[in-house]
């Protein structure tokens, strides 16, 4: 069976004498297309106008061995618009390669942003939860202004995330086994030679099932301070989630991992003494006051932990600076462990969400 792209379908379709409206047909076509392509659906004959499907609830994945790596799923969401225009209509496409001009703005001048959020399967089995997607949408809007790009509205962003989650729901791990990591991208996809904003922009959302970000799993991690290169500089783009912020940290990160460390902790670019963040996450130090945190503060900190969409909450066992190793509390009484449980319980629907942070997808 070969299904046409959903956005090319007409407003009504006849199947076995039953007329379906567009949305009904989109849903049925998506299911049929996915399952026939994956070879896990069995269509059974019935009375005229009826279609029966036997669909596996989960993809064929060893959920106990999930790491944080790419696993191709079924669908991605795509929406396009021109410079000085607004995004209007997007659609689901089969997950796969996209076509870009060699002179695309994102390839030549790194005109691109990305976001990251997670979808969890509810413990009662009824639906899925995503955590504060509107905040990711607002952050993308701030970043798009800085990078001279049009951005989806908050409603368009959340709708695209929901559609991507639902289209790939069989890839959402069982409760307690992981989550579906959702990656929205905004990029200058139009061709441009001189340094200027691209002529066309693509908003794309894909997803992949993931487990723990660090290879240590939930075990405490070990960081090393980098004081020769910087994560962000004053007046730069460190305040927004542009793709250009990430590749410069790779060299320091690889060097740290070769020495047995989990990740790198960067200092500020002005005084070279205040803690900024790790390669891919934020850093918190438990002390009695709130202010800029210097390297010297590490000597008597009670506890240190990293936070982020991918890492969730990761306790830090040690930080090494100029050969000196400082160790921290990672026991059962650690604040990081309590925060991790409180946060993930809300994200998975185990605990009551009193703040209205989660969005339910049925």
Residues identified as active-site: 241
Phi, then psi, of 258 in degrees rounded to 5: -65, -25
Contact criterion met (CB below 8 Å) for 38 and 183: no
Name the CA dihedral angle for 137, 143, 146, 151, rounded to a multiple of 10 degrees. -40
For residue 242, the tally of other CB atoms under 10 A from its CB is 21
Alpha carbons 314 and 283: distance in angstroms, whole number? 9
């Amino acid at each position: 069976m070969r299904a046409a792209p959903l956005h090319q379908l007409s407003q009504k379709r006849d199947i076995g004498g039953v007329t379906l409206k567009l949305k009904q047909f989109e849903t049925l076509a998506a299911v049929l297309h996915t399952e026939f392509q994956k070879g896990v659906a069995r269509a059974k004959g019935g009375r005229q106008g009826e279609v029966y499907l036997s669909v596996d609830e989960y993809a064929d994945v060893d959920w106990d061995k999930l790491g944080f790596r790419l696993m191709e799923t079924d669908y991605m969401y795509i929406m396009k618009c021109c410079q000085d225009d607004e995004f209007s209509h997007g659609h689901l496409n089969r997950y796969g390669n996209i076509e870009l001009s060699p002179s695309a703005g994102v390839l030549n001048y790194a005109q691109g942003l990305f976001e990251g959020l997670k979808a969890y399967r509810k413990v009662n089995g009824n639906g899925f939860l995503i955590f504060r997607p509107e905040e990711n949408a607002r952050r993308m809007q701030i970043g798009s202004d800085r990078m001279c790009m049009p951005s989806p509205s908050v409603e368009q962003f959340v709708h695209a995330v929901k559609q991507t989650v639902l289209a790939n729901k069989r890839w959402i791990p069982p409760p307690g086994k992981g989550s579906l990591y959702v990656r929205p991208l905004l990029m200058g996809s139009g061709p441009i030679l001189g340094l200027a904003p691209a002529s066309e922009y693509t908003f794309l959302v894909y997803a992949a099932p993931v487990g723990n970000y660090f290879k240590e799993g939930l075990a405490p991690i070990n960081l090393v301070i980098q004081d020769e290169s910087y994560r962000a500089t004053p007046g730069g783009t460190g305040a927004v989630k542009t793709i250009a912020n990430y590749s410069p940290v790779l060299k320091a990160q690889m060097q740290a991992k070769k020495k047995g460390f989990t990740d790198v902790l960067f200092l500020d670019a002005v005084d070279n003494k205040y803690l900024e963040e790790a390669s891919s996450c934020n850093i918190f130090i438990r002390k009695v006051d709130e202010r800029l945190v210097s390297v010297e503060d590490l000597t008597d900190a009670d506890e240190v932990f990293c936070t982020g969409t991918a890492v969730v909450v990761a306790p830090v066992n040690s930080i090494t600076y100029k050969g000196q190793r400082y160790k921290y509390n990672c026991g059962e009484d650690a604040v990081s462990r309590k925060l991790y449980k409180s946060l993930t319980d809300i994200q998975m629907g185990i605990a009551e969400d009193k703040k209205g942070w989660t969005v339910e997808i049925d």
